[in-house]
Each structure stands twice: as C-alpha cells, then as structure tokens.
Structure 1
C-alpha cells in the first residue's frame, strides 16, 4: 500500500532513490496510462489502446503489457525488455498530488522499495537544494501533467466524433489456452476513413490525427505480445 506524503527538503534530506529497482515496480502491471507526447516512442514496442478508468469511468490511453491481470510480458530476466520505458514507470516513486488550494504538489511514496537511506540518488544537498536527479524527475512529472491534458483532449475528440469502439479479440496461444480481451477499446477505422471536411481538417490541425494513426499502427504489436506470451509459457513448461 502506497504511503504518499509531500516531499520536504527537511524531512527527506537523507532519502535516497535506488534507481536500479524503479522499473521493477512495473513488473506485475498489465497496462499503464500513457501520454500522446510519448506515443511515437511507445509505438516501437507496445500496443496503445483505450480503457476506462476504474474510478472515474473515463477513457484513458494505456500501453498494454500483457493479457492477464498482473502479467507484464516486457518484464523478463529481471529487467525491462523494451527500447522505451513509459514515463509512468520511470517517475516512481514520485507522484503529483494537490495542496489545500488545489495546486500541484510533489509527493513521494515513502513505502516504495525504491526509497533507501544507505545508497542511491540523493534528493537534496546539504543546503536543502534539489539534486539534479530530483530536477529530472520534476521534469518528468511536469510532462505527465501536461500529458494528462493532452490525453483528455484526444479522448474528447474521439468521443465527439464517435470514433471509439470496443476491441473484440480472442487470442489462442501456442499452449492451446485462450484469452478474451475485455474492457479495451480502439479507434473505429471505418468511421475514421469516412471523416471529411472540417472534422478531418480539425483533427489534422490540432495534431490529433497523427496520434490516432500512431495508436492504430501500434496495434500490430498485439502479435508480438502473443509471441512474448508463447515464449514465456514455453520457458515455464521447460522449467
């Protein structure tokens, strides 16, 4: 259970972050929210799809890591096996909260396995100034804040144009086991191709059209995800 507190230069002066264990925090994540600004990097390795936030019911963009709950097929042999790691993984153990005035507040999960006192990246120097590492993480969190708005704008456009459609996909693996994909959505290609005039021009002008086609192109990685699953099942069977 995460224990989030506001980062404080006095209380957390001696805190260190074990950066080698950050990616491990995503080892059992089936998916993670992603931002349009990182779509091009994500599309090299991951399927980018839509799902509904369990708390708000709103659509969000996510990178898909596996088929079953708790399955991350990009985590193997103790390391993240991809060219790019999503920002929502590398920002661990930091989060963005809000203060009493609703303003963004930098928080840290004090119970995270990444948090150490004996070794790792320091957060503050002896004068209480933020370290270069902390400044980099603040930059990542700033990108995530901006990305949330970009993602919300993209979803709103898709909903207004009625372009969101459920993914109907049942996968059969080499082992013979089957997995039906539930709760995932994508862009309706037929409706997208039928767009013309001002709606299409507006999508292109605001940059959303490029994000949409990146999402659609990334779906080809569903097949590489199946191969990862087959390879993992085979390794388990051999063991």
Structure 2
C-alpha cells in the first residue's frame, strides 16, 4: 500500500539500511531506465517487458528465470556492479503530483525511532533529512528518465524493431521449459533500415543503446551460472521455470507474436 509521506505522520519513521536489497530479493525483473542500460548490462541481460497494468513496453533487467527470485542477491550481498534506481529509492515513490512523495507501507524496511544503520526521513524539527533530499533528487531525475525511456520505446516500436521472444530453458535432465513475455531488438529489421533512419537513431543516441541491448544477451550465461550455483535447498521445486539445473537458454521468436 502506498501512503502520502508527511512530517506529521512520519516524523519518527526510519528506513532500514537494507531496503534496496529487501525490495530486489523478490524481483526477477527490475525496471531499467534509458540512462541505466549501459550500467545494468554489465550484470544482466536487458529486455523489453510489458507493464502488467497498461501492457506498454518497458525496459527490464532479467535477474532470474524464476518468479519472485533474484539471483544477484546472495546471503544478503548484492553481486552486481550496479543497483537500478528502482532499488535505490525504495520505499519512496513520486505521487501523481510529483511534488508529493509517497511511501510504500512496508514493515520490513520501515521502523519507528532510531535503529542501527537506519536513515531518518525527517529531522527532529520536521524538515526533510539529507537522506530524504537525496532520494527526492533521484526520483525527480528518474521522472525525466521515465519520459526519455518512453520516447525511446515509442520510436523503436514504431520502426518495428521490438521482437517478442520465447525463452527456452534447456535443463540438465533433458527437459525444457518456456518463458514468455520478453522481447529484444529485431536485429534483422535494424539492418534493413534506411541510411536516413539509422542516422536519425544515431543522432537520438538510440542506435548505440539498441546494440547494447543485443550485446547484453550474453549475460544470460552468468544467470545460468548463478542459477546452477544455488544449493539444492534454495532452488525452487515443482514446475517453476528453472527449477532444475540449467544447461542453456535458447531465444526464439515468439510463436504467439507471429501467428
């Protein structure tokens, strides 16, 4: 639940030091902004994924093939070189009115009174703390990045460059499972664009990012490695995608997207 942040209601509220990790632990996909692609791709593959409510394409980093799991978080330590802004700012959000900060009412990361390592939201006299000011600045910048990301996705989609994928998980026992809902850059269509279209993408700074997304797919090898390093007791049982040891992940054009 999201609630409006105010000094009146949250004067003594503090955010635990591990808030970012608590949030990320249950996210196999993390939201990525346009300006974060180059940093995120150092760790994971960056795909297009659809917003659960609107169906619009977003940019996401793939941190596991198992829902509600993040392989880059092990024993309370973040294994990646970069934490996306959606992690860094949790549990704070901008409201419909960007001047109004919202707070995710998450008892795992919010406490009352002083706590070791925790960051206060307000000073004793009700002014925003340095921590809150920093997070607000990050959220304001992220709002701009959200718009830039929307424009990028809109342009790429209009050119027909988004290719929906089926991820085939080939498991060590010979079985396979399928993951749908992700998409990448259609490299074949990209190569068929006119010189004028390519120049426009280059001027917008999009062409390099499209190639970066394609290159990031090689990070799936690291995902497989981390998945297989899990102790048997931590690997999910049953029919979850990736519940067995993985041999490889094969990407194919989605059958549902192409009739």
Same fold (TM over 0.5): yes
Name the structure 2 match of 1:105: 100
Is contact 1:173-1:226 (8 Å) kept?
Answer: no
Q: Is the 8 A contact 1:27 1:75 kept in 2?
A: yes
Is 1:217 the counterpart of 2:215? The answer is: yes
TM-score between both structures, scaled by the size of structure 2? 0.84
Q: Could you tell me which residue of structure 2 aligns to residue 229 of structure 1?
A: 227
| Higher alpha-carbon deviation: 181-190 or 225-234 | 225-234
Task: Give 2:128's match in structure 1, choosing from 127, 130, 137.
Answer: 130
- Indicate the residue corresponding to 1:115 in structure 2: 110
Instruction: Point out 4+ residue stretches in structure 1 off by more than 6 angstroms.
Output: none
Aligned length: 232
User: TM-score if structure 1 supplies the norm length?
Assistant: 0.90
Cα gap change, 1:201 to 1:25, in 2 (>3 Å): same
Let me know the Cα RMSD of the aligned residues: 1.8
Ranges in structure 1 where 5+ consecutive residues have no aligned partner: none
Shift of 1:236: 4.8
* Aligned-partner Cα distance in 1 for 2:73–2:66: 14
Structure 2's unaligned 5+ residue stretches are: 236-259
After the TM superposition, which residues 160-171 of structure 1 pair with which residues of structure 2 at under 5 Å, given as runs? 160-171=158-169
Q: 1:7 to 1:236 in 2, by over 3 A?
A: closer
Maintained 8 Å contact 1:48/1:61: yes
Partner of 2:77: 79
CA distance in 2, matches of 1:128, 1:175: 59
Asked if the contact 1:16/1:115 (under 8 Å) is kept, the reply is yes
